[in-house]
Amino acid sequence: MTQAVYDDHPAAVIALLDPNVARRVSRGDVGSLSDRMHALGGYRDVTLVGLVRRREYTLVAHFERGSMIVVVRLGMPGKLGAYRVVPPQGRPRPHPPKRRRTRRRRR
């Protein structure tokens, strides 16, 4: 998926997405993201950082001059339900865990 985005290949990107998500992706979206990736140089590889939530994974895409955090969520079988890229801001970190809500005690 990341290679298809980097190569600015919208048809390949859309083919990998869940149909409900693919309807919301435009050629311009893929091109804009591809440009941001190219600003970091040549594409090297992707490394799995960890599981964020059930069926959602954090990856780090490595380029010649930096990296980006990529979060993917599995959708229907063989498709991605989400593909989100976090722009570089210093060194990459995994997505923070969800906060638990605490209830206030009534007096």
CB 49 within 8 A of CB 61: no
Domain contains 62: yes
Report the chain's C-alpha Rg in angstroms: 16
CB 55 within 8 A of CB 31: no
pLDDT value at residue 43: 92
* β-sheet with 43-53: strand ranges across: 43-53, 56-63, 66-74, 80-86
Q: 29: domain CATH number?
A: 3.10.450.590
Domain contains 95: no
What are the tens digits of pLDDT across the range 44-94? Answer: 999 998 877 788 899 999 999 989 999 999 888 889 988 888 876 655 444
Number of domains making up the chain: 1
What confidence tier does 38 reach under pLDDT thresholds 50, 70, 90?
very high
For the question of whether the overall pTM of this predicted structure is more than 0.75, the answer is no
| C-alpha to C-alpha distances, 59 to 28, 34, 92, 105, nearest whole angstrom | 23, 17, 10, 40
Write out the residue range of the structural domain in which residue 45 sits. Answer: 2-86
